């Protein structure tokens, strides 16, 4: 197996995420790295107990994540997984249980359009609120710029400025 270089990215809160380097792309003299997290990214959703047909809400609020953290972490430990509050995304470390069951696949819609497809990992309750962890079916990539050999996360504005050229370059490489 070929050794893949790894890079550590850090967010403004000091959280880190270890990633494999997938591609290096030069744009206007700056090297940008397309990275893939080594640990498995997961998304935390909360279910609406009033409306069974409503899609779940993605939990992004840091306070809510901190409140449910002990319960969420304990539930994942029962699956031999360690929950990590990484930079960019929540991740789990450890071997995932079999997630191949099509019944566990979910498409979450926003404004009638499928946003992303997931496979259900585990559900739990915290103070009568149901939560679920899902694993995205599509890989999550992180874009960072290389500065003095270190990977620096891009601001939304920086990403927007290079997104079109980065996508075009990657499409060309993969075709």
- In tens, the pLDDT along 26-66 reads 999 999 999 999 999 999 999 987 787 788 899 999 999 99
Task: Look at residue 28 in the predicted model and tell me its pLDDT.
Answer: 92
Task: Look at residue 66 in the predicted model and tell me its pLDDT.
Answer: 96
Angle, vertex CA 157, rays to CA 38 and CA 170, nearest 5: 50
Q: Give the mean pLDDT of the chain.
A: 88
Task: Look at residue 173 in the predicted model and tell me its pLDDT.
Answer: 82
Give the Cα separation of 35 and 129 in Å (integer). Answer: 34
Instruction: Please report, for the chain, the start and end positions of each structural domain, with discontinuous segments joined by +.
Output: 1-175
Chain segment 84-142, per-residue pLDDT in tens: 999 999 999 999 887 655 445 555 544 444 467 889 999 999 999 999 999 998 999 99
| Burial label, 119 (beta-carbon count in 10 A; 0-12, 13-18, 19+) | middle
Q: Are 122 and 132 in contact (CB under 8 A)?
A: yes
Q: Which stretches of 46-155 are DSSP H helices?
A: 62-77
Identify the band that residue 174 occupies on the pLDDT scale cut at 50, 70 and 90. confident
Task: Look at residue 89 in the predicted model and tell me its pLDDT.
Answer: 94
Q: What pTM was computed for the model?
A: 0.84
Q: Is the pLDDT of residue 19 over 60?
A: yes
Q: Are 59 and 69 in contact (CB under 8 A)?
A: no
């Amino acid at each position: 197996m070929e050794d893949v270089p790894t890079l550590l990215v850090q967010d403004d809160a000091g959280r880190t995420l270890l990633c494999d380097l997938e591609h290096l792309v030069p744009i206007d003299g700056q090297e940008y790295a397309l990275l893939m997290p080594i640990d498995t990214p997961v998304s935390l959703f909360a279910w609406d107990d009033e409306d069974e047909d409503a899609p779940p809400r993605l939990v992004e609020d840091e306070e809510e994540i901190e409140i449910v953290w002990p319960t969420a972490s304990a539930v994942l430990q029962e699956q031999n997984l360690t929950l990590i509050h990484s930079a960019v995304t929540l991740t789990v470390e450890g071997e995932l249980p079999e997630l191949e069951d099509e019944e566990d696949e979910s498409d979450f819609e926003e404004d009638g359009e499928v946003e992303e497809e997931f496979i259900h990992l585990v559900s739990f309750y915290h103070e009568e609120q149901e939560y679920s962890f899902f694993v995205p079916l599509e890989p999550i990539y992180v874009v960072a710029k290389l500065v003095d050999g270190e990977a620096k996360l891009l601001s939304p504005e920086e990403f927007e400025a290079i997104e079109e050229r980065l996508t075009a370059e990657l499409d060309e490489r993969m075709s």
